[in-house]
Chain A
Amino acid sequence: MQNIEAGQIEENILLPMLERSISFLKEDMHISVTSNNLEVVCPNQVELKKNTAMIGTGGSIQVIITMSYDDELLDKLVEAFLEGEEVPEDEKDEVKESVSSEIVNTIVGNSLTNPLDGTTLSITPPILIYEAKSLFKHKSSKIATATIKTEFGDMLLTVIGPKESFADTLNFKEL
């Protein structure tokens, strides 16, 4: 397994994902992106929203990628996916979770190649996190985030690594 540095997480993983997320929102979902300041930051702590889906990369670079949405934005994304189709009441939660998972799968799959040798990175099936959560940077971990502001609220992208340092609940594991 190759080691990836914090700078590479920003430049080679988060930035391509940020660009694809913006084009996905604008061109595929027809949602306006309102922020002009699309800044990538490497904080010591990040607050995930309650609507969060995460995916892991496999192969030579192993990181965890999360996408969090404000409620109204996720509702609009669900509407866009459904293209006017009505959903029975008992299916609504499952559809919402499915949309949240599908967006992270599509954006990550569309945008990532291994920055170190150009090979494909495999991705795991998405996992949902059902509660707002604080992630703290530990000594050996790296966190990079970017927020996209839209007319319906924010979408927060986060890349954290190395993947083996975190459980599926995103809790840090001492190795």
Chain B
Amino acid sequence: MLNILVVDDSLIIRKNIRKYITSLGHNVVGEAQSGAQAIDACKKLKPDLITMDITMPDMDGITAVKNIREFDKDVNIIMVTSHGQEEMIVSSLKAGAKGYILKPVSEEKLAKSIATIYDKEVAQDDDDLIDD
């Protein structure tokens, strides 16, 4: 079970992502409505995973990811956004995100994105064991 922080300025998106996370058997440790709140919540709650909106007032999601990476290299971050353009995906990944969900969000998309990150991590761990 993962402890997940949900970051989005939209109430309906926070509600739906919370519902999907619970249904997938994970735990929502907190919610934030802006990039600045996300940084504080990440320091305080130490989540395993963050779902991060890109377009938010005050501080956007990509800037928040860059800030979080300065003090936490391990937390996995999935960007949630309406932008389908490659340029935006590349910027998010360069900032330190591990995955990407295109709105509208669904439980299936979220499950797939989480599985992609954690399946990769399991594969990486297996490789490390073989290397040892």
Contact = CB atoms under 8 A, between A and B. Distances in A.
Interface string B12-24: 1101100100000
A108 B83 CA distance: 8
Contact of A110 (B11, B56, B84): B84
B63 interface: no
A171 interface: no
A64 B19 CA distance: 33
Interface string A77-118: 000011101000001001100110110011111100100000
Interface residues of B, number: 21
Contacts of A101: 10
A113 B103 contact: no
Interface centre among B19, B81, B82, B83 (most CB of A within 10 A): B82
A81 B12 contact: yes
Interface residues on A, range: 20 to 34
**A interface, by DSSP: helix, strand, loop or mixed?**
helix
B13 A109 contact: no
Contacts of A105: 10, 55, 82, 103
A21 to B, nearest CB: 13
B111 interface: no
Contacts of B104: 24, 28, 106
A109 B81 contact: yes
B55 A110 contact: no
Contacts of A124: 55
Interface of B: 9-13, 15-16, 19, 55-57, 81-85, 87-88, 102-104
Interface of A: 24, 28, 81-83, 85, 91, 94-95, 98-99, 101-102, 105-110, 113, 119-120, 123-125
